[in-house]
């Protein structure tokens, strides 16, 4: 089963083969993303081990959403020993989020 994940906006998008699911994650993405994926796999009678490859929308988008999503897909691909692709179809060892702009780092106040 092919898994596609997009966490670049507050509405998380998950595809499992040809089935598409969305979830308005709000501030719960880090806490509930694994459960969301697990629940959708279970709905389809599948387990984590049934995932054969992962594609991730690596950006641009939300800084936090992309970091959380990248951490999840990088870990899954590594632990399941399956191919990982960016949304351009290029195979990657590790997904690095593309935020679409340089980081806005606030200078220290002291």
CATH of the domain at 67: 3.30.420.40
Q: Is residue 16 part of a domain?
A: yes
Confidence of residue 109 (pLDDT cuts 50, 70, 90): confident
List the domain range (segments joined by +) for residue 79. 2-92
14 or 104, higher pLDDT: 14
Position 83 pLDDT exceeds 90:
yes
Q: Which residues contact 78 (CB under 8 A, 6 or more apart)?
A: none
Return mean pLDDT, the chain: 94
Q: Is residue 97 part of a domain?
A: no
Q: Tens of pLDDT along 54-65?
A: 999 999 999 899
Write the DSSP symbol of residue 50: G
Q: Is residue 98 part of a domain?
A: no
Q: How many domains does the chain have?
A: 1
pLDDT, mean of residues 44-50: 97
Please, are residues 24 and 2 in contact by the beta-carbon 8 Å criterion? no
pLDDT, mean of residues 40-60: 97
pLDDT, mean of residues 91-110: 85
Q: Is residue 23 part of a domain?
A: yes
Whether the model clears a pTM of 0.85, i.e. scores above it, the answer is: yes
Position 92 pLDDT exceeds 90:
yes
Q: CA triplet 56, 92, 24: central angle to 5 degrees? A: 10
pLDDT at 103: 67
Burial-class residue 56 by CB neighbours within 10 Å (0-12, 13-18, 19+).
Answer: buried
Angle between helices 63-80 and 29-43 (to 10 degrees): 50
């Amino acid at each position: 089963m092919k898994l596609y994940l997009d966490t670049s906006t507050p509405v998380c998008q998950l595809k499992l083969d040809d089935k598409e699911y969305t979830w308005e994650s709000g501030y719960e993405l880090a806490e509930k993303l694994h459960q969301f994926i697990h629940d959708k796999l279970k709905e389809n009678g599948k387990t984590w081990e049934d995932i054969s490859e992962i594609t991730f929308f690596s950006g641009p988008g939300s800084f936090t959403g992309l970091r959380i999503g990248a951490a999840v897909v990088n870990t899954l691909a590594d632990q399941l020993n399956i191919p990982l692709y960016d949304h351009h179809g290029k195979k990657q060892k590790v997904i690095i989020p593309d935020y679409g702009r340089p980081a806005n780092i606030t200078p220290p106040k002291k």
